[in-house]
Amino acid sequence: MEPVSTLAQASAGFSRATESATTKTDVSGDFETFLALLTAQLRNQDPLKPVESTEFVAQLASFSAVEQQVQSNTKLEGILEALASGATGGLSQWIGQEVRNPGSASYENVPLDVLYLSHTDADRVELIVYDENDNIVARQDVSKDASNFEWSGILADGSRAVEGAYYRFETNSIREGEVIANAPALVFSTVQEVRKFDGQPVLYFADGTQMFAADVEAIRTPQA
């Protein structure tokens, strides 16, 4: 069975995810343009009316932020290129890594990092937690102006999630009491296996979720 690009499905139709992908590909060009404009401004400013110091500091801060984003993207691209190499050694490096995906994550008595998407027209966003049997075990509102949430593991009945059990997450975007969009939330899960499909590495997780290595947007070493 052909692997499904689940990460792409998770973000389809949501402006925030689309804008993020566009920013990733364009940030390097924006950095060069920003640098050229700032240099031209300094070279051509009126000596009798120089740029205000506060404005200049703000521009430098923007310059620094763009530069850091470029460096972060470059490092991530390097990591992904090394891990996704066709050599067997490159594939094995994926195993044991934690990758953000729309599957489920094991609860180990520490908060789970959840990345969620919300519809731009929503006035409220609800996070829904499912257990391994697809039963809803918790619901709670999350900020519609944020995208990250740490789930503490507290269930609807006040008890704590079962250690070692897997939980998955969805969000309902709600406007005037009506659900206008539903989407899976993303969690970090450990890569259990790597296979090749049509020459591309495919990552497999403990809950059966699979995704192409090329779709990975966040990776981290396992937390102690």
In a domain, 199, yes or no: no
In a domain, 140, yes or no: yes
Q: Are 104 and 188 in contact (CB under 8 A)?
A: no
In a domain, 17, yes or no: no
Count structural domains, the chain.
1
- Of residues 171 and 48, the one with the higher pLDDT is 171
> Of the candidates 129, 135, 132, which has an alpha carbon nearest to the alpha carbon of residue 112?
129
Q: What is the dihedral of CA 189, 195, 197, 198, to 10 degrees?
A: 130
* Tokens linked to 209: 């979720």
- Of residues 163 and 90, the one with the higher pLDDT is 163
Residue 71: strand pairing partners: none
Q: For residue range 185-199, list pLDDT tens digits in order.
A: 999 999 999 998 888
Q: Are 187 and 107 in contact (CB under 8 A)?
A: no
Q: Any idea what the CATH number is for the domain that residue 171 is in?
A: 2.60.40.4070
Judged against a pLDDT cut of 50, whether residue 132 lies above it is answered with: yes
Q: For residue range 72-88, list pLDDT tens digits in order.
A: 666 566 556 655 554 44
Judged against a pLDDT cut of 80, whether residue 177 lies above it is answered with: yes
Q: For residue range 85-130, list pLDDT tens digits in order.
A: 544 456 788 899 999 999 999 999 999 999 998 999 999 999 999 9
Sequence letter at residue 97 = Q
Average pLDDT over residues 213-223: 87
Q: If you search the block for the tokens 């009126």, which residue do you land on?
A: 46
Q: How many Å apart are CA 34 and CA 55, to the nearest integer?
A: 15
Q: Which domain holds residue 115?
A: 103-184
Model-wide pTM > 0.75: no
In a domain, 161, yes or no: yes
In a domain, 117, yes or no: yes
CA atoms within 13 A on the CB side of 126: 15
